[in-house]
Amino acid sequence: MFKKILIANRGEIALRVLRACRELGIKTVAIHSDVDESAMHVRMADESICVGPASAQSSYLNIPAIITAATLTDADAIHPGYGFLSENQRFAEIIEEHNIKFIGPSSEHIKMMGNKIDAKKIMDDSGVPTVKGINDLSNKEKINDFIKNVKYPIIVKAASGGGGKGMRVVTEDDDLEKSIKEAKIEAKKSFNDENVYLEKFLTSPKHIEIQVLCDSHGNVVTLGERDCSIQRKHQKLIEESPSSVLNETERDKISDLCRKAMKKINYEGVGTLEFLYENNEFYFMEMNTRLQVEHPVTEMVTGIDLVKEQILVATGEKLQINQSDISLNGNSIECRINAEHPESFIPSPGKITQYHQPGGLGVRVDSAVYDGYSIPSNYDSMIGKLITYGSNRQEALKKMTRALEEYVIMGINTNIQLHQKIIKSDEFTKGNYDINFMSKFN
């Protein structure tokens, strides 16, 4: 077992990892930037070390400083959380070269899934359904044949993409060449990789993702799905598990395929397979090789501590859970609480002058803020996650309504009111929503 873990992150996820470490009897090292000196993750850790000035680039993304911090504190593993360096192949590689364990998959798996063309190919080869597409754009005739077959609209995507950058939807022949050119330029700028591919564009899918957990001995379990369709500008806002549109047969079918694929590639750690879901069909899009923001809804319905399991499999331990031990019980919903202006969605950093967080049965708050805390402007505007659990979806919704009402955050703007409006909306209440929900919502 690890004796000490360095947590290469900040905010709520640093606390989440810290808490798992404490329960496992593992010492923790927090890293922080200048402006985060009094942040909660620093206060709660056994040790802390400053890795640079405020900008993420010079602190939480500063690989040499983080490796130095791990070496100086004698940490035997590094947990990257999400965002920052969590899916950085080079970071995982350097850590391993220093004989420190990266708590995540191998750098090869990170690389494999970092390229969406490769990822799709691997999943397709393993029998996981993918969106119809074409990767070789050097032959115009082949492109024309593809489009004749699938018909417009189609979407141009960056091979190294994610989060919507380097994407173009094309509805007619006249725009195709220009869109490919533009996407290539954007992809080159954003990812230093101009490689793009085409897919049939699905117009009103849901975004449903499957959670996997794999040890280093070939054991794989899936932990159901999360519906993450409520998003705005590729930022998820609300996630829930299970999805209200899947039945057990559909869930088992896609989960079986995911497990087979993970076994085939010898994946290790936690991971998420992202799908579009339309007309009762799943289409694989990409795989995330990290712990995700929305992991708590899965924890609530499975009763499994994903971070503890992630740490345990990283030590090389065999999974103690079988697939038959896993069942989804009840429903869980997560609202991401952002410090942002309610209309413009512009970040709203500043001092929290009054703070009260909701509690009670079935209410979980994952946040690192406190009364009097000043939210720095240098990082993400997500300041917490409000998660509720109920024995059915209606109960989880009622809890969410009550908890949002109870939540008091003064001194800054938040999206709490927006959440209240979404939660009580007819379409959300019915579970009748897809990825276009927010663009139609006001």
**Residue 429 in 3-state DSSP?**
helix
Q: Is 251 a catalytic residue?
A: no
Q: Is 234 in the site for ligand MV4 (CB under 6 A)?
A: yes
| Among 236, 252, 253, 246, CA closest to 292 | 236
β-bridge partners, 274: 209, 286
Q: Is 285 in the site for ligand MV4 (CB under 6 A)?
A: yes
CB nearer to ligand MV4: give 106 or 231: 231
Q: Give 107's DSSP letter.
A: H
Q: Compute the distance between CA of residue 287 and CA of residue 266 in angstroms, rounded to an integer.
A: 14
CB nearer to ligand MV4: give 199 or 299: 199
Contact residue for ligand MV4 among 199, 268, 299, 309 (CB under 6 A): 199
Q: Is 186 in the site for ligand MV4 (CB under 6 A)?
A: no
Q: Using CB under 6 A, which of the segments 84-92, 98-106, 200-208, 246-254 binds ligand MV4?
A: 200-208
**Rounded to the nearest whole angstrom, what is the least distance from the CB of residue 30 to ligand MV4 in the complex?**
31
CB nearer to ligand MV4: give 165 or 402: 165
Q: Is 198 in the site for ligand MV4 (CB under 6 A)?
A: no
Contact residue for ligand MV4 among 231, 298, 357, 367 (CB under 6 A): 231
**Rounded to the nearest whole angstrom, what is the least distance from the CB of residue 92 to ligand MV4 in the complex?**
22
| Segment 116 to 155, residues that bind ligand MV4, using CB under 6 A | 131, 155
Contact residue for ligand MV4 among 202, 287, 382, 422 (CB under 6 A): 202
Q: Give 58's DSSP letter.
A: G
CB nearer to ligand MV4: give 161 or 390: 161
Which one is catalytic: 226, 251, 259, 290? 290
| Among 219, 214, 242, 239, CA closest to 329 | 242
Half-sphere exposure (Cβ direction) of 340: Cα atoms closer than 13 Å: 21
| Among 223, 302, 226, 227, CA closest to 258 | 223
**Rounded to the nearest whole angstrom, what is the least distance from the CB of residue 204 to ligand MV4 in the complex?**
9
DSSP states along 297-350: HHHHHH---HHHHHHHHHTTPPP---GGG----SEEEEEEEE-B-TTT--B--E
Residue type, 155: I
Site string for ligand MV4, 327-346 (x = CB under 6 A): --------------------
Q: Give 192's DSSP letter.
A: S
Burial class (CB in 10 A: 0-12, 13-18, 19+), 355: middle
**Rounded to the nearest whole angstrom, what is the least distance from the CB of residue 155 to ligand MV4 in the complex?**
5
Q: Is 299 in the site for ligand MV4 (CB under 6 A)?
A: no
Residues interacting with ligand MV4, by CB under 6 A? 131, 155, 162, 164, 199-202, 207, 231, 234, 276, 285-286, 435
